[in-house]
């Protein structure tokens, strides 16, 4: 596993937007394996595992709202 300092932002503009909004560590832990898409002015996130969606909703809902991320 690469140290956080050596991870560069993704080339994909949607992934880059999430990366910059939540930070490298949070992105790598929760969003790197997720399916991301743009819908209206929000980024729709489909986590790789169902339990991740539940955990993010329960513990990080304020961050998700502030970054305009919607979980499905």
Q: What is the pLDDT of residues 2-60, one digit of tens each?
A: 676 778 899 999 999 999 999 998 999 999 999 999 998 899 999 999 999 999 999 99
**In the chain, how many domains are there?**
1
Q: Which domain holds residue 22?
A: 4-71
Identify the residue whose tokens are 């399916």: 35
pTM attached to this predicted model = 0.84
Contacts with 28 (C-beta within 8 Å, 6 or more apart), sequence order: 4, 7
Instruction: Give the DSSP H/E element, type plus range, for residue 15.
Output: helix 13-22
Q: Model confidence at 1, in pLDDT bands (50, 70, 90)?
A: low
Tokens describing residue 57: 């909703």
Bridge partners of residue 69, in order along the sequence: 43
Q: Which of 65, 35, 28 is nearest to 50 (CA)?
A: 35
């Amino acid at each position: 596993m690469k140290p956080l300092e050596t991870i560069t932002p993704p080339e994909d503009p949607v992934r880059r937007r999430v990366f910059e909004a939540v930070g490298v560590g949070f992105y790598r832990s929760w969003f790197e394996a997720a399916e991301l898409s743009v819908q209206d002015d929000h980024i729709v996130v489909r986590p790789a595992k169902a339990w991740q969606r539940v955990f993010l909703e329960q513990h990080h809902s304020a961050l998700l709202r502030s970054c305009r991320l919607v979980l499905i």
